[in-house]
Amino acid sequence: MTDITMPKLSDSMEEGTILSWLKADGETVAVGEDLLEIETDKANMTYEAPESGTLAIVARAGEALPVGALIARIGAEASAPAPPAFEARAAVPAGPVAGDSRSASRLAESPAPAPPAGSASAANRSGPVGVATPVARRLAAAHGVDLSALAGTGPRGRVTRADVAAAAGIDAPAAPVAVVPRAPAAAPVALAAPVAPGPAADGVEVRELSRLQQVVARRMAEAKATVPEFQVQTEVAMDAALALRTELKAAAGDGGVVPSVNDLIVKASALALRAHPLANGSYKDGRFELHPRVNVGIAVAAQDALVVPTITDADTRSLGSIAAEARRLAGRVRDGSVTPPELSGGTFTVSNLGMYGMTAIDPVINVPQAAILGVGATGTVLARDTDGEIVDRSSMTLTLTCDHRILYGADAAQFLATIRDLLEAPLRLAL
């Protein structure tokens, strides 16, 4: 028998939640087959069987377990007895539980009965429902969509949130579908079962945080409490950059990918990071870590959280490559198919709220990165031209939030000035 343990699917992952088993206990699996879906601190991910054999499930769907914990065994004999660890464990909430209560809440005294054949948990193990993303399953249940009738457009034919939304005739879910926390009980409750958030006694609507929201909340609180941050800000004249984008749009034609203003900012940031290595570093254990690759994260608003996929080697990519990769990653975030590797390895982050009309943003650092760039909307201001005439100019506010342990005021000012200069003379972005 080969032990299957909770894998470390991202550089920051400490524990994962088993969303569903895609194979049943006692079923024969082959190397590379989808085995189970795991919710990490970054995304939901399908884990493949590392070898062939008969599956003996140890950890039930809904359990949150630390990296390295035993979750299953794969062996040659279908009749192999289940290990003692196969005792049912009391279901725990998806959020982190501190101290000894974590381990105490996971072990129950008696085995739990298998879920009914018609339950959501059973549906997750086989059949068409098993090839849908967790977000798609919850959305389908909320809108009464039959997943078995859909042809998936996701990786390996998986049904995505976008597929369900199209079948339901909606552009996007009106509100996140709540996931019911598993309470200690004899019969397991499927995490994926959609339940409308119940009102509190005084009429206040209560919604449980998803695991991703819990992680984001914890990290933002840790960043504000532990990182000595400061901001520097500048105004950028965007006339030349907007003119370049117009030329690129004409050159691309109808079928080409046209770089957005945000793509220009990502490219300018990447070139500035290469010129200012400290800004591409991080502070860790009392020392600086300067990263050899320039990987720029872009903040994308997902269904229930802000997710930051990474454009790797952004300093060496063309504007067209950055534009195509940014659209691909944003699409995968929104349909729930983004993977932890696509969310890892970032050395800097760009957060743009300009499309919402916000004039400026003071973003919170994405630790352990040295800085994050907040981008406001491009607006029109009055200025004087070289002849002294009053004319309209396009202007945009950039705000850089910095970790003062690695970047000082002068460092931050020089780095932000480089980004501004590149955007004001944008032909250098195309070189």
Query: Which value, in Å, is the radius of gyration of the alpha carbons in the chain?
Result: 25
**62 torsion bin: left (phi>0), alpha (psi -120 to 50), beta (else):** left
Residue at 397: amino acid letter: T
**Full DSSP string of 345-375:** --SEEEEE-GGGT-S---PPP-TTBSEEEEE
- According to DSSP, residue 208 is labeled P
**Tokens representing residue 365 in the block:** 């650092």
For residue 368, is the peptide bond before it cis, meaning its omega torsion is within 30 degrees of 0?
Answer: yes
To which residue do tokens 């054949």 refer? 117
Q: For residue 145, how many other CB atoms are within 10 A of its CB?
A: 22
Q: For residue 324, how many other CB atoms are within 10 A of its CB?
A: 16
Handedness of CA 325, 329, 335, 339 (dihedral sign): positive
Q: How far is CA 49 from the centre of its chain?
A: 24
Find the catalytic residue in 143, 276, 291, 404. Answer: 404
Q: In angstroms, what CA-CA distances link 109 with 85, 106, 184, 187, 341?
A: 11, 10, 12, 13, 38
First to last CA, the chain: 56
- According to DSSP, residue 155 is labeled G
Residue 404 bears catalytic tag: yes
| Backbone angles phi and psi of 19, in degrees to 5 | -80, -45
Q: In angstroms, what CA-CA distances link 112 with 89, 107, 188?
A: 8, 11, 7
Q: How far apart are CA 392 and CA 356, in angstroms?
A: 22
DSSP count for the chain of H helices, then E strands: 10, 18
C-beta of residue 340 within 8 angstroms of C-beta of residue 289: no
**Tokens representing residue 124 in the block:** 């997750």
C-beta of residue 326 within 8 angstroms of C-beta of residue 298: yes
Please name which of 331, 290, 291, 326 lies closest in space to residue 310, comparing C-alpha atoms: 326
Residue at 401: amino acid letter: T
- Widest CA span in the chain: 89
Handedness of CA 226, 232, 233, 236 (dihedral sign): negative
Q: Which residues are catalytic?
A: 404
